[in-house]
Amino acid sequence: MMLNKKVAIVTGSAMGIGKGIAEMLIEEGAKVVFSDINGDDSLVAEYGDKAIFVKCDVAKAEEVDNLIKQTAERFGQLDILVNNAGIYPFKSFSEMTEAEWDKVMAVNLKSVFLTSQAAAKVMPNGGRIIDISSIASVVGFSGLVHYCASKGGVNAMIRALALELADKNITVNAVAPGGITTPGSSQGMTDEAIKQSIAMIPLGRMGEPKDIAGAVAFLASDKANYITGQTIIVDGGWTLR
**Count of C-beta atoms within a 10 Å radius of residue 213:** 25
pTM above threshold 0.85: yes
147 counts as catalytic: yes
Q: What is the DSSP letter of 152?
A: H
**Separation CA 200–CA 98 (nearest Å):** 33
Domains and CATH numbers, the chain: 7-235 (3.40.50.720)
The backbone region for 89, taken as left when phi is positive above 0, alpha when psi lies in -120 to 50, beta otherwise, is: beta
pLDDT, position 37: 97
pLDDT, position 94: 95
- Looking at 47, 88, 147, 226, which residue is catalytic? 147
Q: What is the DSSP letter of 129?
A: E
pLDDT, position 197: 82
pLDDT, position 188: 58
| Closest residue by Cα to residue 123 from 60, 73, 165, 61 | 165
pLDDT mean by block of 10 residues, the chain; 241 residues? 96 97 98 97 96 98 98 97 95 95 98 98 96 95 95 98 98 96 68 84 94 98 98 96 82
Q: Which residues contact 188 (CB under 8 A, 6 or more apart)?
A: 90, 143
